[in-house]
Amino acid sequence: MERTLSDIAQLIGGEVIGNGSVIIRSFAGIEDAQEGDITFLANPKYAGFLSQTRASAIIVDRTVELKSKPGIRVDNPSLAFVKVVEAFSGSQKKHFQGIHPKAVIDPSVKLGKNVSIGACAVIEKGTVIGDNTVIYPNVYIAEACQIGSDTVIYANVSIRERTYIGNRVIIHNGAVIGSDGFGFVTVNGRHQKIPQVGYVVIEDDVEIGANTTVDRARFDRTIIGAGTKIDNLVQIAHNVKIGKNCIIVAQTGISGSTVIGNNVILAGQCGVVGHISIGDNVIVMARSGVSKDIPSGQVVWGAPAQPAEEEKKVRVLYKNLPKLFDTVREIQKQIQKIKK
């Protein structure tokens, strides 16, 4: 497929800079692009590649000046590049269709139109699945679950009883939804299990990464709000409530009964204690430990997490501790000399 730069600009709603008749044949990242490719710059970290890339054209933010080669200015280069990739690669992934004869489906299960179910998937009694949903091989769906339309559940996912999953949800391989929360009471030195009788609600347009776990509530519900995106290897404990459009990055763990607002970002390897609240639009930077409530709008970092600017000062001082120690030791020597 070939398109002119002007054609692509029209597709993504951008402004052509330079020669709009340049022919584009494919797409690539800014470091790997070759002649005939279009690429993009969204992260200023890679600005040095603007003059080095071999790409024939570059999609950039409207504030960026292009001098070395043609390009397109847009409001959101990442989103624009997604549209370009879809245009050149034949849009989105095509899923298989139909119900495999080796799928095990209880007679009471209600299937919508055009539902696809792979080999060795098991769907228990009373479950309802909406139109156009795709269930890949070896998925287990327990009894009395509700799954919406246009949802995709990849191989080896386990969904426990009474789980509610909305529309256009994507759950990647190996995720476990609705497993028991970690609840025990110690009696006479032995840990007695506390029944976990709640359930999980996953709202519309959520994406859950591979090998992530979302525990069912002890009572009531564990909730993942609409539009939230969860990376691989995330642990969400019982009764956690996560708001809308949050980003939760790999290896983050959220303890029980914590409430997280809307548009929150938890970066990689964050740990969050239980029974606290995190307000709207909070950013928790990577490898932070959150041990108390965070008001809306804050950016925090560290363990324990504190305002990011304070943590930066602490880290600068920490790096200088060896030098400071040497200085203090020298001062002590001078004091001893004075005393003598």
CA pair distance 54, 17, nearest whole angstrom: 17
CA pair distance 42, 163, nearest whole angstrom: 38
Secondary structure letter of residue 233 according to DSSP: S
Residue in 95, 191, 238, 275 annotated catalytic: 238
CA pair distance 57, 23, nearest whole angstrom: 9
| Cβ contact 70:89 at 8 Å | no
Residue 275 designated active-site:
no
Phi, psi of 5 (to 5 degrees): -60, -35
Closest CA to 208 of 174, 180, 237, 179: 174
Closest CA to 176 of 162, 156, 205: 156
| Cβ contact 172:154 at 8 Å | yes
Q: At what angle do helices 321-339 and 308-319 cross, to 10 degrees?
A: 60
Sequence length of the chain is: 340
Tell me which residues are annotated as active site.
Answer: 238
